């Protein structure tokens, strides 16, 4: 698991164990199932922290078991949040990623070159920027040297998007 920790997600059925432990016998849950749930929970209390310590992503509920969200995120996404978290767009973006079990990168401040390098290095799939930040990225003289092919969603907010900026952004990043 450790060798493939960026590809594999462990999804223990914590909810099933919890339900079995707290099952009401009047509902017809066999005592053996309750006991099995208790054993599974005890094992998970040891295994889950150890897997996390080793860098393996453990997702209660499974990879795609979370309710759909407006961004279409899942646990394999990797978001880059460069806007301040007091901004509602950035906060929503960050929380949506956490709810989906996705990775989130939170640099201390926005720097266009550092953001593009992070997208390329970390294979970022989703990004939320203000229009002025998009302009700063497009203005980078060496933008074409970065592999940004992992980026599938670029959302923007904080101000109106001028058409004169939207067109080159769509040309560079696609619709």
Cβ neighbours around 73 below 10 Å, total: 22
Cβ atoms 127, 80 nearer than 8 A: yes
Contact 95, 118 (CB under 8 A): no
96: helix, strand or coil: helix
pLDDT at 113: 98
| pLDDT over 90 (residue 116) | yes
> What 3-state DSSP class applies to 52?
helix
Residue of higher predicted confidence among 155 and 6: 155
For 155, the token pair is 């959302």
Q: What is the pTM of this model?
A: 0.62
pLDDT digits (tens, 9 = 90+) for 63-73: 344 444 555 67
């Amino acid at each position: 698991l450790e060798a493939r920790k960026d590809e594999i997600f462990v999804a223990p059925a914590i909810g099933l164990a919890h339900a079995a432990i707290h099952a009401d016998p009047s509902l017809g849950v066999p005592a053996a199932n309750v006991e099995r749930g208790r054993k599974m929970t005890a094992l998970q209390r040891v295994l889950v922290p150890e897997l996390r310590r080793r860098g393996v992503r453990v997702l209660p509920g499974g990879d795609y078991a979370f309710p759909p969200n407006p961004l279409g995120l899942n646990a394999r996404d990797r978001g880059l949040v460069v806007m301040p978290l007091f901004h509602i767009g950035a906060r929503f973006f960050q929380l949506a990623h956490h709810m989906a079990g996705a990775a989130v990168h939170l640099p201390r401040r926005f720097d266009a070159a550092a953001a593009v390098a992070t997208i390329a290095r970390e294979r970022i799939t989703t990004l939320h920027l203000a229009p002025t930040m998009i302009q700063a990225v497009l203005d980078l003289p060496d933008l074409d040297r970065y592999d940004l092919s992992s980026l599938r969603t670029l959302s923007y907010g904080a101000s109106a998007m001028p058409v004169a900026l939207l067109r080159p952004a769509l040309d560079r990043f696609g619709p």
